């Protein structure tokens, strides 16, 4: 089973929605939450991926259910949350993880491409969180964690995603204020470079940048999916009951890098990997073979 650092049964009986639960960070987080006793509602656009993860979790002794949905569709999101509430009787937490982008300079991004990324990374997260609040959490409280990104100081080559993620940070801070009255905490996790399956979705011309990414981090490596999941689980847990409106960076210190300061390593910080089904993305596997 998943080797979590958190105590067994931490989320026993709680219903947690994980969007983008069919792969990458979402898949890993869903496994950890299920291993800690949560009933996980997996949300994503591809039914086959969700079904695979639900089966993985069941085989590991956990409980997860697949709910295919396009979170850009307002009516579909409202129906989704209603269906989850009807099936499980409650919604205790939301991990707003679904997202996606493509590499491009701002001057080359069409309006359609821009809006697709913003709708997925910002609007879809807003719709899902709003429906969780209106249909469930304003009556029972809850916790929301929005997944953003390392976009501090700009996001060259991913300007559409950077703008959307920055918007999600502000949404997090605003919702934390407006929804505290209902006993709802809203926080965010900002991953840096992560050795996740999403890396394989980028085109071949980005491969060189991916392989060099870890060298621009003070800890001289990428994060594991488990290290991101652990941050999410902490913010959802009772231990974070007085944390609200915060953004937890899990990036190895990359935004603090300054020109001229050497990124030398005398001693490594070993990565944590509690995910029993974790595997390196293909692009990184190929590097190890070279």
Q: Where do the structural domains in the chain lie, given as residue ranges?
A: 15-251+277-289
With DSSP H G I counted as helix, E B as strand and the rest as coil, what are the percentages for the chain, rounded to 5?
A: 50, 15, 35
The DSSP-derived string for 253-289 is TGGG--TT-----SS--PPP---TT----HHHHHHHH
CATH architecture of the domain 15-251+277-289 equals: 3-Layer(aba) Sandwich (3.40)
Mean pLDDT of the chain: 94
pTM score = 0.94
Q: Which two tokens stand for residue 208?
A: 């060189």
Q: What is the pLDDT of residues 237-268, one digit of tens each?
A: 999 999 999 999 999 999 999 888 888 888 88
User: What phi, psi does 67 have (nearest 5°)?
Assistant: -135, 85
Q: What is the pLDDT of residues 26-44, one digit of tens each?
A: 999 999 999 999 999 999 9
Q: 């979790």: which residue's tokens?
A: 57
CB 273 within 8 A of CB 226: yes
Of the listed ranges 59-63, 91-95, 208-212, the least confidently predicted one is: 208-212
pLDDT higher than 90, residue 234 = yes
Q: What is the Cα–Cα distance from 198 to 235, expressed in whole angstroms?
A: 23
Q: What is the Cα–Cα distance from 59 to 79, expressed in whole angstroms?
A: 29
């Amino acid at each position: 089973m998943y080797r979590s650092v958190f105590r067994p049964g931490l989320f026993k009986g709680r219903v947690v929605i994980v969007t983008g639960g069919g792969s990458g960070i979402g898949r890993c987080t869903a496994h950890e939450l299920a291993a800690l006793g949560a009933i996980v509602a997996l949300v994503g656009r591809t039914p086959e991926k969700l079904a695979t993860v639900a089966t993985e979790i069941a085989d590991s002794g956990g409980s997860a259910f697949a709910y295919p949905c396009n979170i850009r569709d307002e009516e579909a999101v409202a129906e989704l949350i209603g269906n989850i509430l009807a099936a499980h009787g409650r919604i205790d937490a939301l991990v707003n993880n679904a997202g996606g982008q493509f590499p491009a300079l701002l001057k080359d991004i069409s309006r359609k491409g821009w809006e697709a990324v913003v709708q997925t990374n910002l609007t879809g997260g807003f719709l899902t969180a709003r429906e969780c609040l209106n249909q469930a959490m304003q009556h029972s409280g809850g916790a929301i964690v929005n997944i953003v990104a390392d976009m501090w100081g700009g996001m060259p080559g991913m300007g559409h995603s950077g703008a959307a993620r920055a918007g999600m940070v502000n949404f997090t801070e605003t919702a934390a204020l407006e929804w505290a009255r209902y006993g709802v905490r809203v926080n965010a996790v900002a991953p840096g470079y992560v050795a996740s399956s999403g890396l394989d979705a980028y085109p071949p011309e980005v491969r060189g940048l991916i392989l060099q990414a870890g060298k621009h981090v003070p800890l001289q490596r990428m994060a594991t999916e488990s290290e991101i999941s652990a941050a999410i689980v902490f913010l959802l847990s009772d231990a974070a009951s007085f944390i609200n409106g915060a953004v937890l960076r899990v990036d190895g210190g990359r935004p603090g890098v300054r020109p001229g300061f050497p990124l030398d390593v005398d001693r490594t910080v070993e990565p944590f990997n509690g995910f029993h089904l974790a595997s390196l993305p293909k692009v990184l596997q190929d590097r190890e073979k070279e």
